[in-house]
A and B are shown apart, each in its own frame.
Chain A
């Protein structure tokens, strides 16, 4: 009815809608806080010092944004937290400002590295973005505490051991906020194409999207090996000022997991 009143034909209306959508939405890039270790499974034969790469990027598209010096960066092992913020040095990742760190595990077990960035102002979405980002590293064959929970404002608690996974394995985690599961949370999933973006038949293929169930549990099975990021997004119950105006804050619970290729 409205189209008729405006004198539009159906094709014209459709074209108008498509143009409008393109202007408003733009490319389907997913923002991801990124925390990538040089090795998620350190063995005694390996270089025992882990290099860590902290960035804020579009991982599938292999484009970086600028990550300000993180607000917090640390590691949890055997219930003990270690502040690593002072170990960071400036770096470049995907042509964006980033941070580099290193850490040498001295005992077996799971090391949970985590980063809290400063709020990132995203003008195109009119929102601040804060991605609480973490990754799990196993040292010397010991996988104790692989499901450790950090108690972050929001985080993904793994239900599948987050290292030593084959490509194609199902991965499950619980999305939590304030320590409680988030029912039906939306989780964006992207592969880190560090060697450059790959061609896709549709922008819809860049970011995979799944929803958690009523208990906050989500499931995904990456089709290819590599680093895959899981970002559960919620809106904070507070706002932050931008040029004198209060703006919403997108909170991300981001987890990076590497899936290994099946040996041929």
Chain B
């Protein structure tokens, strides 16, 4: 059985984070979907369009809970990029801008960050 990354209190925290972080992705025919998760100590960011095609290029920006830009890089040609683990217990907002108004974001909540830490400790 999988371990849920979120519980009810987490939802509240997530909602607060969503309020703190101004949402960016407009929804249209070629909506850009952004997803991020933590794997083996790195943050993996994936971006693809609703058509199923990956975003072959794009700017990735990472903001902390205070909305300060803490990291910037570019997507790889496969629509993903691995970021170094950015220590930030308050959560992260990861935005991807693929041009022509195609942008969206994913929030790694404090619970996501904590769970990844637990997973890393379990594996080590």
Q: What is A's interface to B at a CB cutoff of 8 Å?
A: 44-49, 86-87, 102-104, 106-108, 140-144
Supply 6 A–B pairs (Cβ within 8 Å), ascending by A: A45-B15, A49-B4, A102-B4, A103-B2, A104-B3, A106-B5
Q: How far, in whole Å, are A49 and B3 apart by their CA atoms in the complex?
A: 10
B48 adjacent to A47 (CB under 8 Å): no
Evaluate whether A104 and B35 lie within 8 angstroms (CB atoms) in the complex, with A45-B15, A141-B50 already known. no
Q: How many A-B residue pairs have CB under 8 A?
A: 46
Q: Annotate B42-65 by CB proximity to A: 1 below 8 A, 0 otherwise.
A: 000010101010000000000000
CA distance A143 to B107 in the complex (A): 20
B residues with a Cβ closer than 8 A to A are 1-8, 11, 14-15, 18, 31, 33, 35, 37, 46, 48, 50, 52, 104, 106-107
Known contacts A141-B50, A142-B48: does B35 contact A107 (CB below 8 Å)? Answer: yes
Report whether A106 and B2 are in contact in the complex, using a CB–CB cutoff of 8 Å. Answer: yes
Q: B1–A87 contact, CB under 8 A?
A: yes
Give the one of A107, A141, A143 with max B CB within 10 A: A141
Min C-beta distance of B82 to chain A, whole Å: 16
A116 CB to closest chain B CB (Å) equals: 20
Q: Known contacts A44-B107, A47-B11: does B2 contact A142 (CB below 8 Å)?
A: no
Smallest Cβ distance from B112 to chain A, in angstroms? 10
A103-B46 Cα distance, complex, nearest whole Å: 22
CB atoms of B5 and A144 under 8 A apart: no
Residues of B with C-beta under 8 A to A49: 4, 6-7
Say yes or no: A143 contacts B50, CB within 8 Å.
yes
Query: CA A47 – CA B3 in complex, angstroms?
Result: 14
Point out which of B2, B14, B52, B107 has the most chain A C-beta atoms below 10 A from its C-beta.
B2
Residue in A44, A87, A104, A108 with the greatest tally of chain B CB atoms within 10 Å: A44
Known: A49-B6, A104-B2. 19 other contacts (CB 8 A): A44-B14, A44-B107, A45-B18, A46-B11, A48-B6, A87-B1, A103-B2, A104-B3, A104-B5, A104-B6, A106-B2, A106-B5, A108-B35, A140-B35, A141-B31, A141-B50, A142-B35, A142-B50, A144-B52
Instruction: Give A103 to B106 CA distance when docked, in angstroms.
Output: 20
CA distance A141 to B35 in the complex (A): 9
**B120 vs chain A, min Cβ distance (A):** 16
- For the complex of A and B, 7 pairs with smallest distance between CB atoms: A104-B4, A141-B33, A48-B6, A108-B35, A47-B11, A49-B4, A45-B18
Output the least CB separation between B18 and chain A (Å): 5
Find chain B residues with CB under 8 A from A45 CB: 14-15, 18
Q: What is the minimal beta-carbon distance from A14 to any residue of chain B, in angstroms?
A: 58
Distance A73 CA – B118 CA, assembled complex (angstroms): 30
Inter-chain CA distance A236–B57, complex, in Å, is: 52
A15 nearest CB across to chain B (Å): 60
Residue ID in chain B nearest A104 by CB atoms: B4
B37 and A106: CB pair below 8 A? yes
A87→B37 CA distance, assembly (Å)? 24
- Residues on A with C-beta less than 8 A from B6 are 47-49, 104
